[in-house]
Amino acid sequence: MLIIKLSATPSTNSFLKQWVQQSKAHESIAVWAEHQTEGRGRMGTKWLSEANLNLTGSVYVGNTAHHQNNTFNLNKQVCLAIVDTLAPLKIPELRIKWPNDILSANKKIGGVLIEPIMRGKQMTGVIVGCGLNVNQEKFDPSLPFAASIKSSTKQNHEIGPLFELLAKNITAAVLSDQVDHERYLSVLYKINEMCAFKTKDGASFQGKITGVSPDGKLVVVNENGDTNAYEEKTLVFTAFQY
């Protein structure tokens, strides 16, 4: 795997997408930046990261044959790869918050952005962007649920070696034809627990997450016993709506 380090870039995903379009010399490429100035999250959101303190990187994998028909399986495997990478650091209560956030003790320490590379209707590769709060200790007061690996473990961590291991594990996850749905559910945030939700039209309700559908919708049983499946951005956890 070719690994590229940048001092600064607007977006590692955008950098890697341009690199792949200009050169097909590598089946897997990883790039990380000390400072990402215009980081992107899912559905057009922004990923803000303090320079030199956090991990902002992307991984390109050119073999995605196993995931042609279900990109959410890819999302599950990538999130599990991130959890597996972080687990040895003794980060408490690692969880995956649907659909793409990484939590520690109910606070967000990271997120994932997966962008398929398409040729017509065929997915020819994928770029996996990953942002992790590593050594940052102070966060904007408007983000009360933001945290970092350091704030969770009280230790500094080297970003370069962490990214190299993460890139290796993400690549292996993308190349694998195995999807561990049960293990994904075992670390899913609030699985089988009652919690507060709000729909996109502003309605609030209590519900219990019972699973995730094959196409990536969150399956929730509400207080009345009715089961519904929600697409991304149509439902939010009330605690994280700030």
CA 191 remoteness from chain centre: 18
- Match domain 194-240 to its CATH number in 1.10.260, 3.30.1490, 2.60.40, 2.30.30: 2.30.30
Residue 34: name the closest of 8, 13, 59 by CA.
8
Instruction: Kindly give the pairing relationship between strand 28-33 and strand 55-61.
Output: antiparallel
- Tell the CATH superfamily of the 2-186 domain: Bira Bifunctional Protein; Domain 2 (3.30.930.10)
The kind and range of the H/E element at 236 are strand 235-237
Helix locations, the chain, DSSP H? 12-22, 71-86, 149-153, 159-175, 181-186
At what angle are helices 71-86 and 159-175 packed, to 10 degrees?
Answer: 140
Report pLDDT for 78: 95
Residue 230: name the closest of 203, 82, 112, 183 by CA.
203
List, for residues 180-198, the tens digit of each pLDDT value: 999 999 999 999 999 999 9
Let me know the angle formed at the C-alpha of 5 by 2 and 10, rounded to the nearest 5 degrees. Answer: 115
- 194-240 shares the fold of 2-186: no
Residue spans per domain, the chain: 2-186, 194-240
Task: Quote the pTM value.
Answer: 0.90
Tokens of 197: 């939700």
List, for residues 143-153, the tens digit of each pLDDT value: 888 999 999 99
